[in-house]
């Protein structure tokens, strides 16, 4: 566990480098929104599966596994064709967003005087891929996750629980 003086030291670093603080806060926002979407994907699979053991089905599943399960379940006629199309569109956007998230979460941040980058392992050639890292991009990605989370919950509330669509929300294809 970090000691108080360690935390104080990091706060001082933020004071002398506000760009670092902005990046850290934006990264935290994005990660929180991604985790929220992943939570709602768990709920979606549980509602699709139903029954007392639905929780066991999703235990330990990561986002890609949840999206795969949703695709398989909705693809065999568990929901209407309209609902399956809507979910397929949302799932595609989720996959793109989670791939982008993984770059920031599983890479390392390299900071120099001019900019920040995130470095990730290139699995094909064993090298290192370098990507720019900007707080605004992280905030936009966090907002994308928040929107997707809202769409996913609206989808299962409407298609699985029978509730009307929320006034401020439309299906992803509209």
Helices (H), the chain: 4-16, 18-49, 54-58, 63-75, 81-106, 135-159
Domain contains 106:
no
Domain contains 121:
no
| Full residue range of the structural domain in which residue 8 is found | 4-87+135-159
More confident residue, 101 or 17: 101
- The model's pLDDT over 58-110, given as tens digits with 9 standing for 90+, comes to 999 999 999 999 999 999 999 999 999 999 999 999 999 999 999 999 998 88
Question: What is the DSSP pairing of strand 116-121 with strand 108-111?
Answer: antiparallel
Tell whether the model's pLDDT for residue 167 goes beyond 90. Answer: no
pLDDT at site 123: 85
Domain contains 123:
no
Domain contains 80:
yes
Domain contains 153:
yes
Q: Quote the number of domains for the chain.
A: 1
Q: How many CB atoms lie within 10 A of CB 35?
A: 14
- The model's pLDDT over 145-160, given as tens digits with 9 standing for 90+, comes to 999 999 999 999 999 9
Tokens of 55: 């929780």
Tell whether the model's pLDDT for residue 115 goes beyond 90. Answer: no
Domain contains 129:
no
pLDDT at site 122: 86
Domain contains 58:
yes
């Amino acid at each position: 566990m970090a000691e108080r003086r360690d935390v104080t030291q990091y706060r001082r670093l933020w004071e002398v480098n506000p760009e670092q603080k902005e990046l850290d806060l934006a990264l935290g926002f994005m990660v929180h929104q991604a985790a929220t979407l992943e939570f709602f994907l768990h709920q979606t699979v549980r509602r699709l599966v139903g029954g007392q053991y639905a929780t066991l089905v999703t235990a330990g599943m990561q986002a890609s596994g949840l999206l795969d399960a949703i695709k398989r379940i909705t693809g065999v006629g568990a929901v209407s064709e309209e609902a399956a199309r809507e979910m397929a569109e949302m799932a595609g956007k989720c996959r793109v967003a989670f791939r982008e998230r993984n770059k920031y979460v599983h890479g390392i941040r390299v900071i120099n005087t001019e900019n920040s980058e995130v470095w990730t392992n290139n699995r094909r050639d064993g090298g290192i891929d370098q990507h720019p890292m900007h707080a605004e991009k992280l905030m936009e990605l966090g907002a994308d996750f928040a929107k997707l989370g809202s769409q996913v919950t609206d989808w299962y509330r409407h298609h699985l629980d029978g509730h009307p669509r929320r006034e401020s929300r439309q299906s992803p294809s509209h």
